[in-house]
Amino acid sequence: MPTKHRETHTPKTMNERERQPDDAGAGDPGCPEPAASGVNRADAAAFFAAADAAIESALSGDSARFNQAARQEGGQ
Amino acid sequence: MNQEPPPAQAESWADSRPTPGAAPLPFAHVPRVTPRPTPVPKLCGGDIELGNFVAGDGIVGQTSGRAARLLLGAIEGYPVGAAYRAACGRDDQDWGRKFLRENGGCVYIDLDHLELALPEVLSAWDHVACWQAMLRLARRALDRANGGLGEDQRIIVLVNNTDGHGQSYGSHLDFLITRRAWDNLFVRCLHHLLFLASFQASSLVYTGQGKVGVDNDLPWVPYQVSQRADFFEVLMSIETTRRRPLVNCRDEPLCGSIRTPVAGAIPALDLARLHSIFFDNTLCQVSSLLKVGVMQLVLAMIESERVNPALILERPLEATWRWSHDPSLKARVRLIDGRETTAVELQLRFLDEAMTCFEQGGFDGVVPRAGDILQLWAETLARLKAKDYPALARQVDWVLKAALLQRLRDRQSGLTWRAPELKRLDLMYGAMPEGLYWTYDRQGLVTRLVDDAHIERFTREPPEDTRAWTRAMLLRCAAPEQIDSVDWDELWFSFQGSNGWPLRARVSLANPLRSSKATNGHLFNRAARIEEVVVRLNEASGVAADADQAP
């Protein structure tokens, strides 16, 4: 938790922030590609394995029909 | 982890009840003079609509109404308003709220969506736990309801805010603020409203769930940060189902009358409720905590009139669309001073303002664990600034969802962003029972801020530091036939009076900071009957017993 003297708070001024690199890494529509950088290969492998299992489960059957069935009444 | 009890400031507001029998103030015709701006504890609640439908063989047409009724029917609770049902002959599921004796929250159907209303809490950590607990109750109801359907049909619950067909349903947050702050926002100080709208617009970078495509006839983008952004059409209004505003001005305090008290009415307490309809349904606990916790901080700043006009956007509505449609986080929009900013840069400036307020003790007694919220906020913004997506995918929904969608595109080359598979994956992200988020949660691949015991406790018990505790205890004391009506700030009961005549009696919970376990716990005991408890509560609150008795 930060102290009341900003010991753990990152940059103090906008100028300092603006000097930091603002890398892109944007994919097709500008989407992030979280595990693509391979910062932690074990994490990335677990991430992709879970993604593959979830995708398999979520996409069984006819997607267009599923999307049509999901139509809702308007809400708040 | 639970929170410390609210400190001294909460106590002073908790004691701000009217003095029974006090003479009316002289010069009652003079417009109210508001007190100096002292924030109240940022108590918060929420009401969350879910998408629901029946999928399977032989299903024809829209099924959301049927799904919502099956789900509500599988949740135990007290449907209220039996008299209305008798008069109208309608199914009580169409309108009745089921208040839960377990945690003091409630469940009902709103426009064919199952809606979960959270019990009031003081801490953002408790809010996250309550939110997850209410989803857990909905999941259990879903399993029961699906158990009653044939094998070829099943109900799907969508934890999102749009169905991909142009319909949106809300995820509302409610915050206790002073009446003075309310008046400033909507009547007196336009820059307070714009400050809040500018904060909200830029907060999408950590509160968005992400969405494939667009709604509301806006120009196509393959993927955007927010579920709700496209549905906001005006800056401020009372609407929630059409022409939705960035800042909702519905003045329904749920803490006593907002009008001059008349005989029998609960006196006004100079308290109000900010009803925010801006945010997405978030699943990731970091997103959920920041959504609530940072709003607590910003509202406390607005309430104490620490509003820096330099942070106001020239066009908050357009900024909301622009930033939502730019997952690269590069889009710059103009502030009123003519300079341009990204959403992350603007959030960093809000963070600076909040740090200054923190250093000066501005959140003391108002926002539990303000320092921890600030730390998490600063860390998240630093990661967004650095585009540290591997870390953010564990914490922020729109980043995690984007990663899953990209994984599917990598596996199935040739899938365009308009492919039905991508839209389905978008819908299924937070869905129950098989949503992608839940797979990640089970495998420990997303960051947890509240542990499982904390969540499970709120499926069975109310928060102890707000009026939700007394509400739940009253519902436990009374037999169902003794409960006439339940609302957030009052309950009515029917029972036989001491003279044998039928009696209706009210318990006021007008001040949401009172009626905690610490305040009222001693008034309940295992053997107490509802008649006794009602009398004790009314005596303890200093309010004369408020009852209707038959002749």
Q: What is the residue-wise DSSP string for B156-172?
A: EEE-SSB-SSS-B--EE
Q: Given an 8 Å threshold on Cβ–Cβ distance, is B436 in contact with A54?
A: yes
Judge contact between B398 and B381, C-beta under 8 A.
Answer: no
* Confidence category of residue A13, pLDDT binned at 50, 70, 90: very low
- Interface check for B37 against chain A (CB to CB < 8 A): the answer is no
* Confidence category of residue B158, pLDDT binned at 50, 70, 90: very high
Copy the structure tokens of residue B389.
């997506």
Size of interface A-B (CB pairs under 8 A): 218
Determine which of B88-92, B138-142, B373-377 has the lowest per-residue pLDDT on average: B88-92
Decide if pLDDT at B97 tops 80: no
Q: Which of B51, B326, B420 sits opposite A30 (nearest CB)?
A: B326
Determine the pLDDT at residue B136. 96
Judge contact between B255 and B512, C-beta under 8 A.
Answer: yes
* Confidence category of residue B77, pLDDT binned at 50, 70, 90: low
Q: Where are the beta strands (DSSP E) in B358-501?
A: 483-486, 490-496
Copy the structure tokens of residue B230.
């496209």
Determine the pLDDT at residue B15. 45
Residues B75-86: what's their mean pLDDT? 58
Query: What is the phi/psi pair of residue B503, to 5°?
Result: -135, 135
Find chain A residues with C-beta within 8 A of B403's C-beta: 32-35, 47, 51
Decide if pLDDT at B205 tops 80: yes
Select from A4, A19, A31, A67 the residue whose CB has the most chain B CBs within 10 Å, as the one to mutate to test that interface. A31
Find chain A residues with C-beta within 8 A of B358's C-beta: 2, 4
Decide if pLDDT at A36 tops 50: no
- Interface check for A42 against chain B (CB to CB < 8 A): the answer is no
* Confidence category of residue B164, pLDDT binned at 50, 70, 90: very high
State how far residue B380 is from chain A, nearest Cα, in angstroms. 11
| Distance, CA of B387 to CA of B336 (rounded, Å) | 27
- Interface check for B39 against chain A (CB to CB < 8 A): the answer is no
Cis peptide before B433 (omega within 30 of 0): yes
| Distance, CA of B165 to CA of B231 (rounded, Å) | 12
Give CA separation, B452 vs B289, B429, B455, in Å: 16, 21, 5
Query: What is the phi/psi pair of residue B130, to 5°?
Result: -65, -40
Mean pLDDT for chain B overall? 88
Determine the pLDDT at residue B479. 87
Q: What is the percent of chain B where pLDDT is above 90?
A: 72
Decide if pLDDT at B266 tops 60: no
Q: Single out the residue of B147, B180, B172, B238 nearest to residue B32, CA to CA.
A: B180
* Confidence category of residue B256, pLDDT binned at 50, 70, 90: confident
Judge contact between B428 and A51, C-beta under 8 A.
Answer: no
Give pTM, 2 decimals: 0.87
**Which range has highest mean pLDDT (A37-41, B149-153, B337-341, B488-492)?**
B337-341
Residues B454-459: what's their mean pLDDT? 98
Determine the pLDDT at residue A18. 32
Cβ atoms within 10 Å of B22's Cβ, excluding its own = 8
Determine the pLDDT at residue B7. 40
| Distance, CA of B242 to CA of B62 (rounded, Å) | 21
H/E element holding A46? helix A41-58
Residues B88-92: what's their mean pLDDT? 52
* Confidence category of residue B301, pLDDT binned at 50, 70, 90: very high
Residues B10-34: what's their mean pLDDT? 45
Q: Given an 8 Å threshold on Cβ–Cβ distance, is B424 in contact with A59?
A: yes
In SS3 terms, B8-32 reads as HHHHHHHCCCCCCCCCCCCCCCCCC
* Confidence category of residue B269, pLDDT binned at 50, 70, 90: low
Residues B342-370: what's their mean pLDDT? 97
State how far residue B295 is from chain A, nearest Cα, in angstroms. 18
Residues B239-246: what's their mean pLDDT? 94
**Which range has highest mean pLDDT (A5-9, A52-56, B360-364)?**
B360-364
State how far residue B290 is from chain A, nearest Cα, in angstroms. 14
One-letter amino acid for residue B7 of the chain: P
One-letter amino acid for residue B108 of the chain: Y
* Confidence category of residue B392, pLDDT binned at 50, 70, 90: very high
Copy the structure tokens of residue B255.
């803490």
Q: Given an 8 Å threshold on Cβ–Cβ distance, is A35 in contact with B403?
A: yes
For tokens 């603007």, name the residue. B346
CA B114, chain centre distance (Å) = 15
Determine the pLDDT at residue B475. 93
- Interface check for A60 against chain B (CB to CB < 8 A): the answer is no
Determine the pLDDT at residue B213. 97
Determine the pLDDT at residue B31. 47
Q: What is the percent of chain B where pLDDT is above 70?
A: 86
Task: Dump the DSSP string for B319-378.
Answer: HHHHHHT-TTS---EEBTTS-EE-HHHHHHHHHHHHHHHHHTTTTTTTSTTHHHHHHHHH
Tell me the pLDDT tens digit for each residue of B503-530. 899 999 988 888 999 999 999 987 788 9
Higher pLDDT, A2 or B149: B149
Judge contact between B117 and B128, C-beta under 8 A.
Answer: no
Q: Single out the residue of B123, B122, B296 nearest to residue B196, CA to CA.
A: B296
* Confidence category of residue B425, pLDDT binned at 50, 70, 90: very high
Residues B217-226: what's their mean pLDDT? 96
Give CA separation, B201 vs B47, B273, B313, B544, in Å: 20, 20, 9, 46
| Distance, CA of A32 to CA of A24 (rounded, Å) | 9
* Confidence category of residue B394, pLDDT binned at 50, 70, 90: very high
Neighbouring residues of B146: CB distance < 8 A, sequence distance ≥ 6: B154, B155, B433
Find chain A residues with C-beta within 8 A of B349's C-beta: 14
* Confidence category of residue B547, pLDDT binned at 50, 70, 90: low
Find chain A residues with C-beta within 8 A of B423's C-beta: 63, 67
Q: Which of B51, B221, B389 sits opposite A33 (nearest CB)?
A: B389
- Interface check for A45 against chain B (CB to CB < 8 A): the answer is no
Higher pLDDT, B437 or A39: B437
- Interface check for A19 against chain B (CB to CB < 8 A): the answer is no
Determine the pLDDT at residue A50. 86
Task: Dump the DSSP string for B288-313.
Answer: HHHHHHHHHHHHHHHHTT---GGG-B
Q: Which residue of B has its CA nearest to A28?
A: B222
Q: Given an 8 Å threshold on Cβ–Cβ distance, is B427 in contact with A67?
A: yes
Q: Given an 8 Å threshold on Cβ–Cβ distance, is A1 in contact with B423?
A: no
| Distance, CA of B439 to CA of B270 (rounded, Å) | 45
| Distance, CA of B172 to CA of B44 (rounded, Å) | 11
Determine which of A8-22, B89-103, B240-254 has the lowest per-residue pLDDT on average: A8-22
Q: Which of B167, B223, B390 sits opposite A31 (nearest CB)?
A: B223
Determine the pLDDT at residue B215. 96
Find chain B residues with C-beta within 8 A of A33's C-beta: 389, 402-403, 406
Decide if pLDDT at B403 tops 80: yes
Decide if pLDDT at B296 tops 60: yes
* Confidence category of residue B3, pLDDT binned at 50, 70, 90: very low
Cβ atoms within 10 Å of B280's Cβ, excluding its own = 29
Q: Given an 8 Å threshold on Cβ–Cβ distance, is A22 in contact with B385?
A: yes
Tell me the pLDDT tens digit for each residue of B308-330. 999 999 999 999 999 999 999 99
Find chain A residues with C-beta within 8 A of B64's C-beta: 71-73
**Which residues of B are known catalytic residues?**
110
Decide if pLDDT at B408 tops 70: yes
Find chain A residues with C-beta within 8 A of B408's C-beta: 55, 59
